[in-house]
Chains A and B, each alone.
Chain A
Amino acid sequence: MSVIKKIIPSRSGIPLRGALVIAIAAAGMSAGAVQAQTLNIVSWGGAYSDSQLKAYHEPWEKKSGDTIINIDKSSNALSGLRAQVQAGNVTWDLVDMLPSDALIACSEGLIEPLDADTLFAPAPDGTPASEDFIEGSLSECFVPQIVYSNIVAFNTEMFPEDKQPDSIDDVFNLEEFPGKRALQKKPINNLEWALVADGVAPEDVYATLDTDEGIERAFAKLDTIKDSVIWWEEGAQPPQLLADKEVAFASAYNGRIFNAEVNEKQPFSIVWDAQVFELDGWVVPTGKLDKVKDYLMFATDTQRLADQAKYISYGPARTSSASLVSTHADTGIDMKPHMPTYGPNFETAIPKDDEFWADNLDELSQRFNAWLAR
């Protein structure tokens, strides 16, 4: 249902009147305090936006009196930003974006450069922010919040108890593991997994993809399951398809599967083989830095990043947050084994190669679409 673009206001924890009262009170307490404002924040929707709502938005609304409107547009954030900048009317104040999109937006001047040490709080032990985020994760215009992972999950009820899938090869094995597969409708991740299932070692995946034979090989492997694939476009679809038993396997963001498993008690399980992991974080549209400065400082501090991991199984992008990650806020289960960076889960992990995809996405998408249409 990707065509139905929803703009859903966040389930604001504070009713408008409450926000006003707090704003007035706050203004009274400290003369000349910044007036309460409305922040339009763009994110991915679903369980992910919920975790941001609880970890960042609600505490911030309580603290500042601001109202935060959550817009579920991150899947088209780059086109939205470009259109708003070209039209000269930028309505988004803060955007949740993938680092690869952020690179492009930054080089096109659509978003603000962010200086880590003046904009983000240092760690509790005093380590400056620029040294506290995971190495190499901060880029000129991008500040990461989480490490998330693209994984394949399955519905445990679709297979006999003594024969549950446990590797990416099983996704491509229609004979032993029958049923439909839901995969994301883009070449990213699918080509990587096809190669791994075809015998390429996870660390050689991008070197192989960089050759024509490698690409041929990946598409040939995908050919073997093409007729059994349902292609999804929105992150909320794969858990739904799995729950309906329309598919046996689904590729998904690991946090969505965790959410369905833990909060909705679905019989899902993740195949922690060849996960493709990357970061996700904030960018600030050009000209909006002053407006969101305070919020950004608040939402990138050590405690807040650790808080988000109470609601969804994504690893915080600050080193100092990692030790604060404990248990799930509602069910109290230990979050660590559900994190993509947890030892056993991480053994065959593939870091998504942003540079490879920045160069080849145009052509490989076209090839992928042509392959799909055939």
Chain B
Amino acid sequence: MSDSSVPATSGPEGLTTADGVPLKQSLNRAVRRSRLKALLLVAPLLIFIGLAFVMPIFDMLSRSVDNPEVSTYLPRTSESLTHWDGEGLPDEAAYAALAQDLEAGLKARNLGRVASRLNYEMSGMRSLFTKSARKAGRMEPPFKEALIKADKDWQDPDIWRLIKRESGLYTASYYLAAIDRQFSPTGEIVEKPEYLQIHVVLFIRTFWMSAVITGLALLLAYPVAWLLATLPAGRGNLLMILVLLPFWTSLLVRTTTWIAILQQQGVLNDMLVGVGLIAEEARIQMIYNKTGTIIAMTHILLPFMILPLYSVMKTIPPSYMHAARSLGAGPVTAFRRVYFPQTLPGIGAGSILVFILSIGYYITPALVGGQSGRFITNFIAYHMQTSLNWGLAAAIGSILLVVVILFYLVYNRLIGVDKVKLG
């Protein structure tokens, strides 16, 4: 769309085209037309990005704070609790409203949603709701007594405070749960008991292990990329195939191959026992733990480091190093001051690629990570599929997204994304 930068004032003022339209206007029209054409060409892509990328992210962000259950399925109760100050027990009107809501919810078969929602916050809410709802139809006023007779938990003010707190349309509960915090009965934010804390540990582990994997990949990839870039074309291509072949192999195949190699009855342990390095009983546990995840993921992500490095190194003329040597620099100095700085864009590109990819990795940690080598992504999947707490999954996902963006900004500040070169 470089023609948009054509200065419209380049023609002398007052000039017109053959049909009498001012030149400026005619030019603008032409520019607009070509812009529209360009837009039409990229429109499918824009629509695709909007549908497949922006909307799901927006959906995830909104789901992480969305809290429709209590206000939708207990409408009368949440309405009548707005007047309650949270001290002692609510009045008879609130109990009557609850009895009505329970009866209606049981009939419409949607009480389970609000019961599940509140059970995330306090164990036992599910059965409290279903048990009370079954009796709600036969209750007679005063409802306060009737409900407390149905289950004495209804005289616990904490339960009423919970219902009141979660009757808003939006909630911070999911984000609090994602960082191992919760609301206390009185509404303050407190840490969860230690035996329930898990997400923060996993966030830290995910970032820490991704950093280790990135560092290892860089260490291994640098010499390989250098070799690739400096070998004569024939042998260089052969080596390149050795890099690309695993890159093209299915992720699942590579992961399961590592299982076969690393497990206790696996190839590597057999070899070590065979040559007498370790005893039969002392087979090393190299998989289903952190070690397994780090080894397998470093291998799987290595090409993402080698290829950007290679593409940068390929453009560095060997004569620079020769010049540095001839001017008296030792090999280390020449490397450090001449060669290495020129490979920085490649290092940057490879590192950001590997780091961000590994934060989002899911299958490999799930298969070879055991307990200690699992990532926070595995817990997103867990909350999606097993615990069914989709709000919490969305909150964890959103935190992950924000952290990745933060890393990207810091990285941009330090290295500059415009310097990144992917080949």
Q: Check B116 against A104 for contact (C-beta < 8 Å).
A: yes
Segment touching B, from A260-268, A312-320, A332-340, A363-371: A363-371
Please name all residues of chain B whose beta carbon is closer than 8 Å to the beta carbon of A369 when the two chains form the complex. Answer: 198, 379, 382
Please name all residues of chain A whose beta carbon is closer than 8 Å to the beta carbon of B386 when the two chains form the complex. Answer: 76, 79, 186, 365
CA distance A219 to B372 in the complex (A): 18
Q: What is the CB-to-nearest-CB distance from A221 to chain B, in angstroms, rounded to a whole number?
A: 15
Interface centre among A109, A186, A365, A370 (most CB of B within 10 A): A370
**Nearest B residue to A355, CB-CB:** B127
Say yes or no for B10: interface residue by CB 8 A criterion: no
Q: Check B109 against A362 for contact (C-beta < 8 Å).
A: no
Q: What is the CB-to-nearest-CB distance from B225 to chain A, in angstroms, rounded to a whole number?
A: 32
Give the number of A-B contacts (CB < 8 Å). Answer: 89
Given A359-B123, A363-B123: A108 and B371 within 8 A (CB)? no
Q: Check A3 against B363 for contact (C-beta < 8 Å).
A: yes
Contact partner of A363 (CB less than 8 A), chosen from B127, B196, B197, B367, is B196
CA distance A361 to B383 in the complex (A): 13
Q: Check B202 against A106 for contact (C-beta < 8 Å).
A: no
A-facing residues in B88-131 (Cβ within 8 Å): 108-113, 115-116, 119-120, 123-127, 130
Size of B's binding interface in residues, CB under 8 A: 43
Say yes or no for A230: interface residue by CB 8 A criterion: yes
User: Which secondary structure dominates chain A's binding surface?
Assistant: helix
Say yes or no for A114: interface residue by CB 8 A criterion: no
Q: Check B387 against A362 for contact (C-beta < 8 Å).
A: yes
Please name all residues of chain A whose beta carbon is closer than 8 Å to the beta carbon of B329 when the two chains form the complex. Answer: none
Say yes or no for B384: interface residue by CB 8 A criterion: yes
Q: What is the CB-to-nearest-CB distance from A339 to chain B, in angstroms, rounded to a whole number?
A: 30
**Nearest A residue to B115, CB-CB:** A107
Say yes or no for A346: interface residue by CB 8 A criterion: no
Q: Check B288 against A79 for contact (C-beta < 8 Å).
A: no
Chain A contact patch, size range: 35 or more
Q: What is the CB-to-nearest-CB distance from A89 to chain B, in angstroms, rounded to a whole number?
A: 16
Q: Check B362 against A362 for contact (C-beta < 8 Å).
A: no
Say yes or no for A29: interface residue by CB 8 A criterion: no
Q: What is the CB-to-nearest-CB distance from B17 to chain A, in angstroms, rounded to a whole number?
A: 56
Q: Check B113 against A108 for contact (C-beta < 8 Å).
A: yes
Q: What is the CB-to-nearest-CB distance from A167 to chain B, in angstroms, rounded to a whole number?
A: 27
Please name all residues of chain A whose beta carbon is closer than 8 Å to the beta carbon of B130 when the two chains form the complex. Answer: 103, 107
What 0/1 pattern do residues 94 to 127 of A give for CB contact below 8 A with B?
0000000001111111000100000000000000
Q: Check A358 against B109 for contact (C-beta < 8 Å).
A: no
Q: Check A373 against B201 for contact (C-beta < 8 Å).
A: yes
Q: Check A360 against B198 for contact (C-beta < 8 Å).
A: no
Q: Check B112 against A104 for contact (C-beta < 8 Å).
A: yes
CA distance A105 to B372 in the complex (A): 33
Q: What is the CB-to-nearest-CB distance from B127 to chain A, in angstroms, rounded to a whole number?
A: 5
Q: Check A370 against B196 for contact (C-beta < 8 Å).
A: yes
Please name all residues of chain A whose beta carbon is closer than 8 Å to the beta carbon of B108 when the two chains form the complex. Answer: 109
Q: Check A108 against B110 for contact (C-beta < 8 Å).
A: yes
15 extra A-B contacts, CB within 8 A, seeds A104-B126, A108-B110: A1-B367, A3-B366, A76-B386, A78-B388, A79-B384, A106-B109, A113-B109, A219-B195, A231-B370, A244-B265, A358-B126, A363-B123, A369-B382, A370-B197, A373-B371
A and B contact pairs by CB, cutoff 8 A, 17 listed: A1-B367, A3-B366, A106-B112, A107-B109, A107-B115, A107-B130, A108-B116, A219-B195, A231-B370, A246-B264, A246-B265, A358-B127, A359-B126, A359-B127, A360-B124, A362-B119, A362-B389
